[in-house]
Amino acid sequence: MTLLTGSRGALFVAVFAVVAAAGCTPEPAGVTAPSAPAPSAPAPSAPAPSAPAIAVSAQPSASRGPSVPAGWQTVEHQGVRAEVPGDWVRAETEECEAPSVRWQPAEAPDCRFTTGVAFYLEATFDPAFGPGIHQGKDNTWSGYVFAGDYAVYAVAADRDLVQAVLDTARPRVRR
């Protein structure tokens, strides 16, 4: 038996709680790998000191490329970006049992991760299943991809929404 201690143990409990809340179990027959875009420059090892930890772009998604639905916004955490629906907001999870950095629909409960995207540090991310999209017991879809130093994890009732969010996950390109 392996005992998880420190932050890795706490993160395992947090990720397990998210996966359990979403009703996710590994289903090898239904696994599909997301097609994450390749970054055009090497991923930075750490964000620039002046870079904001969390940002939302005012730039309309339609001008960023044909694969991003119109009306979506860019969210960023520690140099990793993803596109999400324009009505998603940063969740207030500081008072939750398992605080996390995530965006979700405004009407979604802050302490129950049912729909949205979260950023988990890859070094301590301990998923219950491999990368790609998986269907949970309650007909929700969830999955993750790695971008920069983070695992970008998305969950929703709509499989195509999860795929679209994961397809946009990327490290910020330094110019």
Note whether residue 43 is domain-resident: no
CA distances from 5 to 1, 13, 70 (A): 13, 11, 44
pTM: 0.63
Does residue 39 lie in a domain region?
no
What band does 175 get if pLDDT is binned at 50, 70 and 90? low
Distance CA 60, CA 72 (A): 7
- 84 confidence band (pLDDT: 50, 70, 90): very high
pLDDT at 79 over 50: yes
141-171, pLDDT tens digit by residue? Answer: 999 999 999 999 999 999 999 999 999 999 9
The Cα 78–Cα 81 span in angstroms is 8
Q: Which two tokens stand for residue 16?
A: 């397990």
**Residue type, position 6, single letter:** G
Q: How far apart are CA 88 and CA 108, in angstroms?
A: 9
The enclosing domain of 10 has a CATH number of 3.40.1000
Q: Are strands 101-105 and 88-90 parallel, antiparallel or unpaired?
A: antiparallel
Which residues form the domain of 144? 6-33+52-171
Q: Is 40 within the bounds of a domain?
A: no
Give tens-digit pLDDT for 88-129: 999 999 889 888 899 999 999 989 889 999 999 999 999 999
